[in-house]
């Protein structure tokens, strides 16, 4: 079910989060434009959405035809085309402050005056991102979790200048896409979830780097206690580069095993190999 104040949504980014957010927004009935900087990236993201919709359809988890949902999605590489006329823009670009500020500077010039401007940043300051615009009152954090189509929670984060009207509109929007919003009223690094999850993955990576535990043991120790995934399987799913950039932007030391994986471009499921091998091996089979 859609809300009255929002008809059209633009998602900037077609990677894991960008295409997943595009999919959930389209599933809720909104018209969505998904934009990334290169055609190939946009095409890969679109194909991932097709795959996901087919999977949900096969399992009877959606009550509409995949084609109907796809008809609500358009794609482009042109930022101005993507943003013009959108009631809401959700940025899901890589986790680098300079890049996000550049994007929000462009949005300030191109987006409609009343548009809601949201960032899906994992941990960067909403206040600082919003400072790239002359309308920080309209900027809010909307932190989705991976995979967006399966994860219910979304953090709605206030920057220092975000008004209640903006945060409430964002909250209502998240409810309209059938997700559960929670407010994060202080713009603290990592917000709530990643403040807790950071050490979960980080400490495990330090232990393995120092030879104190094996990857499979560390993962099994958590799943045996009822967690849905261990820290290494989770990093493979979210992308090892994501946690790497979060730590780097925060000025935190990088565990050697994380650095090795990033240097080798073994970033997890999306590259076919990370802590586990998804192409030639058994994937995250550690129980």
Pick the catalytic residue from 16, 119, 120, 122. 122
Q: Does 262 bind ligand 3HC (CB under 6 A)?
A: no
By beta-carbon distance, which residue lies closest to ligand 3HC?
Answer: 122
Listed in sequence order, the residues at least 6 apart from 148 whose beta carbon sits closer than 8 Å to its beta carbon are 17, 20, 21, 23, 24
Residues 62-91, one symbol each (x = binds ligand 3HC by CB under 6 A, - = not), give ------------------------------
Q: Does 147 bind ligand 3HC (CB under 6 A)?
A: yes
Q: Does 197 bind ligand 3HC (CB under 6 A)?
A: yes
Among 28, 56, 73, 154, binds ligand 3HC (CB under 6 A): 56
Q: Does 220 bind ligand 3HC (CB under 6 A)?
A: no
Pick the catalytic residue from 119, 125, 194, 201. 194
Among 126, 238, 255, 270, binds ligand 3HC (CB under 6 A): 238
Q: Which residues are catalytic?
A: 122, 143, 155, 194
Binding site for ligand 3HC (CB under 6 A): 52, 55-56, 122, 145-147, 149-151, 194, 197, 228-229, 234, 238, 242
């Amino acid at each position: 079910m859609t809300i009255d104040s929002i008809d059209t949504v633009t998602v900037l980014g077609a990677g894991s989060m960008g295409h997943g957010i595009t999919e959930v927004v389209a599933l809720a009935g909104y018209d969505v434009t998904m934009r990334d900087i290169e055609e190939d990236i946009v095409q890969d993201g679109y194909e991932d959405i097709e795959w996901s919709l087919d999977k949900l359809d096969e399992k009877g988890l959606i009550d509409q035809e995949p084609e109907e949902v796809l008809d609500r999605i358009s794609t482009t590489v042109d930022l101005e085309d993507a943003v013009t006329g959108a009631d809401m823009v959700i940025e899901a670009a890589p986790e680098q402050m300079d890049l996000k500020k550049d994007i929000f500077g462009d949005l300030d010039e191109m987006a409609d005056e009343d548009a809601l401007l949201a960032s899906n940043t994992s941990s960067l300051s909403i206040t600082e991102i919003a400072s790239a615009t002359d309308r920080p009152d309209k900027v809010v954090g909307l932190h989705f979790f991976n995979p967006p189509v399966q994860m219910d929670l979304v953090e709605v984060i206030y920057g220092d200048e975000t008004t209640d009207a903006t945060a409430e509109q964002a909250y209502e929007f998240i409810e309209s896409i059938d997700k559960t919003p929670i407010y994060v009223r202080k713009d603290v690094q990592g917000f709530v979830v990643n403040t807790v999850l950071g050490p979960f993955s980080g400490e495990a990576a330090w232990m393995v780097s120092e030879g104190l535990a094996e990857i499979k043991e560390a993962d099994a120790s958590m799943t045996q206690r009822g967690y849905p995934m261990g820290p290494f399987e989770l990093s493979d799913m979210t992308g090892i580069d994501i946690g790497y950039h979060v730590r780097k932007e925060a000025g935190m030391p990088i565990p050697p095993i994380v650095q090795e994986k990033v240097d080798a471009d073994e970033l997890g499921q999306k590259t076919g190999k990370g802590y586990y091998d998804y192409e030639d091996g058994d994937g995250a089979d550690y129980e």
